[in-house]
């Protein structure tokens, strides 16, 4: 039985999503980070988007 870390599962899900549903912008930072398996960048981009979203909702 193999166990995957949360990071590996997240990257797998995002890669599968981007392969199934072609992103409208292939040069998007998140798309590039996922394709290059840059876990730290993926987290940073998602974290920044979440913070930006919460700021605009106040």
Q: Is 10 within a domain? A: yes
Taking the whole predicted model, whether its pTM rises above 0.75 is answered as no
Q: Is 44 within a domain? A: yes
Q: Look up the domain containing 38 and give its range.
A: 6-56
Take residue 46 and report the two structure tokens written for it.
């998602």
Q: What pLDDT score was predicted for residue 2?
A: 67
**Residue among 32, 31, 42 at smallest CA distance from 8:** 42
Number of domains the chain contains: 1
Which of the four pLDDT bands, split at 50, 70 and 90, describes residue 3?
confident
Q: Is 12 within a domain? A: yes
The whole-number average pLDDT for the span 34-43 is: 92
Which of the four pLDDT bands, split at 50, 70 and 90, describes residue 39?
very high
Q: Is 1 within a domain? A: no
């Amino acid at each position: 039985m193999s166990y995957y870390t949360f990071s590996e599962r997240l990257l797998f899900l995002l890669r599968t999503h981007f392969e199934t549903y072609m992103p409208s912008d292939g040069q998007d930072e998140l798309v590039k980070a996922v394709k290059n398996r840059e876990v730290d960048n993926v987290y940073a981009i998602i974290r920044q988007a979440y913070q930006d979203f919460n700021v605009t909702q106040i």
